[in-house]
A and B are shown apart, each in its own frame.
Chain A
Amino acid sequence: MAKSKHDEIVYAAADWWVRLREPGAADETIEQWLAWTGEDERHLATFERVTELANQLGSLDNVSRQGLIKAFARPVAAPRRWMPLAAAAAVAVVALSGGYLAWTRFASGNASQVYASAVAQNRDITLPDGTQVALGAASTLTTHFTHGQRRVELSNGEAFFQVIHDNSRPFVVAAGDVSVRDIGTAFDVRRTGQRVTIAVTQGRVEIADIRQKAAAGQHGTLDVSAGQLVSYDPHTSSMTIGSIAPEQALAWRSDRLEFIDEPLSVVIANLNRYSTRQMHISDTDLDTLSYTGTIHTDAIDSWLSALPQVFPLRVSTTGNQVILSDAEHSSRR
């Protein structure tokens, strides 16, 4: 299809934008540009619009910025694999796996405690060791404390831990294939099925892939510091590192869910923890649409009604269920 006159001007304006950006742009370039702006009154107006968009994009909020950089500015780099182990760290992991084995052997003899929260209800808990846990809605946590280790399993949902550090008694959170060990810290763990994200708000943690640890020669841990966000993708057993501000990581405690470049299926699964009406995605094509943004858990309905404007999908309600389906499939039928 041929470009319209309007599009032609937009492309010309963007070309001028790029040429004028150069600090060393020649005086003649500026003169030619001025002549161009004088040719048609739409020229300068379009140039202003192009510049305005570039300005907006140059000063995006950090969540959107990181999301776009992650999605487009690093397409050639494969997802970062577990970092190779330095010798010193290898010792730590062996010690840690020892602890893990000890735990499995003695777990049956030790008291476990299950903490669960209801849909749409966050819950604050103090564990026996003094560690503070903020448990997100519809989340389940099981503690297994021994005198040598404090182990917590997050089987679903999200929890923020402010750990009372004790060198002789490491604090380890297991979430699916991933374990997170505190090194004097506060951190948030969210588990959606086998997908896990960890946001560190204070101090450091050591993250390990339990399955890779079990495989010979594949031992790996990752040191993650405050301000970093790690996402574990179960399909590729890989993780990516990004950055996150503490207030973003903990937004859910103030009824806001923040997502950075997450599959729609993950977004919906997490929203369901806060919604009395459960949402389902009926076309798997939609699962992988990537979403970045903030959703207020008290305004899920208005978010849903805006969704078809940004994704090619339809939202329909049947009884107490909300169905998200592919807009193209339904229109073709």
Chain B
Amino acid sequence: MTLSVHVSDIEKLFREHNRALIAFLQCRLNSHSDAQEVAQEAYLRMLTLHNREEVDSLRGYLFKIAGNLAIDRLRKRKVRNEFAAEQAHDEPVVETSPDRHAMAAEQVVGLRRALTELPPKASQAFVMHVIEGRDFGAVAQTMKLSERMVRYHVANALAHCRARVDEKEMP
């Protein structure tokens, strides 16, 4: 006998884990609206799951589906950007990202100052990954570092910048 996933199961997952799911997807996708769309789709996929007994953890399965959908979406975004770049020939192309954030000039200056407080390698890895949007592998290659070191630098710089921006907002 197969047991399908019930709507009430999905509701429970949503109640207990939706916030974490959105945070996880936002980390992957850099966009709140994309994160919400992908989360919706993941819940829908859960409903069409037929052999529930093969899944040990519904939560684990939800995050797995969401993670795969996020990978698909990133791949599509990449294709779209490459196509746009080709269309524009040698004109400079700004990578399209779903939402543009306007940051106040003062905030950008604050951020810049926070970055100068870091070791040059940390700020370089951070700007290349977070601002330029290059993946860890590409940054590692350019900087002649291991990916593990790049991740370490990026994490440190991100934490430092978050802490500095917080100080400014909550003196």
Q: List residues of chain A with CB under 8 Å of any chain B CB.
A: 6-7, 10-11, 13-15, 17-23, 25, 27, 30-31, 33-34, 37, 44, 47-62, 64-65, 67-69, 71-73, 75, 225-228, 243, 290-294, 306, 309-311
Contact = CB atoms under 8 A, between A and B. Distances in A.
Interface stretch (B4-12, B46-54, B95-103): B95-103
Given A15-B155, A69-B131, A292 B64 contact: no
A7 B166 CA distance: 10
Contacts of B103: 56-57, 60-61, 64
Contacts of B151: 18-19
Nearest to A4: B163
A48 to B, nearest CB: 5
B123 A293 contact: no
Contact of B158 (A30, A50, A64, A227): A50
Given A14-B155, A68-B115, A292-B109, A75 B130 contact: no
A55 B30 contact: yes
B58 to A, nearest CB: 13
B154 interface: yes
For the complex of A and B, list the 10 residue pairs with the smallest distance between their C-beta atoms, beginning with the closest. A293-B105, A14-B159, A72-B127, A310-B109, A14-B158, A59-B97, A11-B159, A56-B101, A18-B155, A73-B127
Given A57-B131, A243-B92, 18 more contacts: A7-B163, A10-B162, A18-B158, A20-B27, A20-B28, A23-B67, A23-B74, A34-B63, A54-B27, A54-B30, A58-B133, A59-B99, A71-B112, A72-B123, A73-B132, A291-B109, A293-B109, A310-B110
B124 interface: yes
Contacts of A37: 20
Interface in B81-99: 90-92, 94, 97, 99
A195 B70 CA distance: 47
A293 B102 CA distance: 12
Given A21-B27, A59-B100, A10 B163 contact: yes
Contact of B155 (A17, A22, A58, A62): A17
Contact of A62 (B31, B67, B94): B94
Contacts of B127: 68-69, 71-73
A13 B105 contact: no
Contacts of B162: 10, 13-14, 49-50, 53
Contacts of A50: 158-159, 162
Interface in B105-141: 105-106, 108-113, 115, 120, 123-124, 126-128, 130-133, 136
A55 B101 contact: yes
B131 A65 contact: yes
Given A7-B163, A10-B162, A34-B20, A54 B105 contact: no
B23 interface: yes
13 contacts: A6-B163, A14-B156, A14-B158, A31-B60, A54-B158, A56-B103, A57-B103, A57-B111, A58-B130, A64-B105, A243-B92, A292-B112, A293-B109
